[in-house]
Amino acid sequence: GLPAVATIALAVGLTRMARRNALVRRLGAVEALGSTTVVCSDKTGTLTAGRMSVRAVALPAAELVVEGRGYELEGRILRDGTPIRGDDEPVLGRLLEAAAWTPTASIDPATHEVAGDPTDAALLVLAARGGRPREALEAAQGDPHVLPFSGERLMSAAVVGGETFVKGAPDRVLTACDRVAVGEGFEPLDEATRHRLEQRNRELADEGLRVIGLASQDRAAPDLASLDGLIFLGLVGILDPPAAGVPETVALLREAGIRTVMITGDQTATGAAVARELGLLEEGAAVVEGGALANTSDEELPTLVRETAVYARTGPADKLRIVSALQAEGHVVAMLGDGVNDAAALRKADVGVAMGGRGTDLARETAAIVLQDDRFATVGAAVEEGRVIDDNIRKFAFYLFSCNLAEVGVLLGAGLLGLPLPLLPLQILWLNLVTDTFPALALAMEPAEPGVMTRPPRAPGAPLLSRRFVRALAFYATLITVVTLAAWGWGLARGDVEGARSLAFTALALAQLFHLGNARGRRPMLARGAVVANRWALAAVGVVVPLQIAAVTWAPLRTILGTRALSVEEWGVVGVLSVLPAIVGQTVEVVQMRRAASGQGPTGRP
C-alpha cells in the first residue's frame, strides 16, 4: 500500500498548494521544498509591489517633489511647495520630454492598467503630470525611433526629429555626459557639478528609490554605442513600496531556517535600502554588485555567497552563477523569476518558481512551480505545504513499516518459540487491507503540525530510513509484537487454538489501529486539539473498529477468516493488551517533548 498512499499524499498536498495559489508542475519540486535552505528572488514586483510612482526629481539646479497616486495621471510637481509644469521651467520641460519618449510601456487612461515595464509606466505618468503627455508629443512630432535597452550599457534611447533622448542607470548616463542643461541651453559639466549629482544619486538610492538618469543629445544617434557628449537633464527617484506580506514572509522563512536573497538590477544603494526595509539585510550580511561578482573566480564564489544578502546590478549570467555557487555550498535553492532572462537560473535551481500573472511563457514553462497570484507570501505557503507533504509521507511510511514489521515479528516469534501459526494467510491479508490501509490514508490527510515553520529544513539527501527512524520503527514494532504474542500465548494456555488465533488476530489489528496516534505527529495526542485535528484519522478508527468486530462476530466473515466470537473476558484482555503500545508511545512522546523544551534532546519521533 505504500506506493498508493504516497501517490494519494502527493495528490492531497498538491491540491492544498493549488488552493494557496501555488501550482506544481513537477513533482520533484515538492520534495525539494521540504529541504529548501535559500530563496533567491528578484526585487521589482516580487519583493516590492511593482506599482511604481515618481516621488522626486533632481534637476541640475533644483529639487522637485511629485504628488499623485500610483499610475493615475492626475498629480502635481512641486518646487518649494508651489506647483510647477514643464512650460514653467525649460529644463523640467526637457526632462519630461525624455520621460515621455524613452519608455516602451503604455497606460490605459480609464483603468490605469499598465502594459509593459512599471518603471517606464512611472515615467509616462510623470510626463503627463508635468504637462508633457506622450500622446500630445506623438501628435506633434510623430513616432520615435527606439534604441532598445542594453544590459551592457544599462541605457536605452529614443530618436525624435534629429534629437536623441536617453534614460538609464544614473552612473552610466552621467559618465556619458559632458554638459548639463541650464535654462534654455546648457553649460559644461564640471567636476564639482558631477560630484554633486553623484552624491544626490546616492542620497535618493539610500532612501530606497530606484533612480533613473535622463539626458539628451542634440543629434540623432544611430546606436547606443554613439551615446556620448550628452546633455544631462536630471535624476528621477521612483518609489516601489514593499509588496503586502513580504516582511512577514521573510521573517517566517528566517524562523524556518531559510535565508532570503535579493537579486536585483538596481544600483547597490537602492537594493540595500529596500533590503533593510524588508528585513533581509541582517547584521554582518553583505551587499555585492554585479561588477564585483564578475571579477570573482568560480573558486572564490562559494565563499562570497555565504554571507551575501543582496546582489545589485546583476544580469542573467550572474543569477546562474549565484544559484550554482549556493548549490555548491550544499544549499537547496528556490529561485523566483518572471522574465526570459531568468530561465537559465530557474532551470538550474532545485525549485524554479515563476510568476503566473506577469511571468513570460518561457519562465512558466521552465519553472517547477507557478505562483498564480504573483505574491512572494505564496512562496512561504508553498514551503509550508512542501514540509507537510514530506512529514506525511514519513508518517505513513513509519506507520506501515512498523505495522508490517510487527506482523513479521509475530510469525517469526511464534516459530522461534515452537508455537503453532498465530495468523492465517487470509487474516494477514485482512490486516494489510483494513488496519494498514485506512489509517495510512488518514495520515496522508494530516494537517500541518504546530511549529512546522519554526524548525530547520530537512538536511538535503537525508535518507528516509535514518538510524533514529529505524530505532523508533523497531521499538514500536516490538511493542506490537509482544502484546500480540501475549494474547496468543494466553489463548493457547486455555487450550483453544482457534480462540487463541482470534485473540492474536484482534489484538494485532487493534494495536496497529491505536498505534496510529504514535505515528500522527511529534506531539502527544493528549495535547490540546491534537486528537480532533485530523478528522480523517477519527474516520479511520470509526471504520476499522466495526470491521474488526465484524471479523470475529459476523458468521460469514468468521468462516472466511477462520475466527470465532470472543467472550467478554477475552475482549477485556484484547482491549488492555492492544492499547499498551499506544500508552507507551504517548508516554515516550511526553518525555521527549519535555526534554526538548529543556534543550536536552530532540522532540517526538523522527
Residue labelled with grid coordinates 466473515: 557
Name the region of 333 (left: φ>0; alpha: ψ -120 to 50; beta: rest): beta
User: In the block, which residue shows the cell 530532540?
Assistant: 602
CA distances in angstroms from 499 to 245, 492, 508, 556, 574, listed in the order given: 63, 8, 14, 17, 12
Nine cell digits for residue 64: 522637485
Q: Which residue, 466, 464, 577, 562, is CA-closest to 511?
A: 577
Separation of alpha carbons 262 and 383, rounded Å: 18
CA distance 335 to 353: 6
Distances (CA, A) of 346 to 186, 260, 281, 374, 507: 47, 16, 24, 16, 53
Contacts for 544-550 with beta carbons within 8 Å, 24 or more apart?
544/434, 544/435, 544/438, 544/439, 544/509, 544/513, 545/510, 545/513, 547/434, 548/434, 548/435, 548/506, 548/509, 548/510, 548/513
Q: Which of 52, 29, 105 is nearest to 336 (CA)?
A: 29
Longest pairwise C-alpha distance within the chain: 115
Q: Active-site positions?
A: 42
The full length of the chain comes to 606
Q: What is the DSSP string of 116-150?
A: S-HHHHHHHHHHHHTT--HHHHHHHH-PPEEEEEE
Q: What does each C-alpha distance from 500 to 104, 423, 562, 565 come to in angstroms?
A: 84, 10, 11, 11
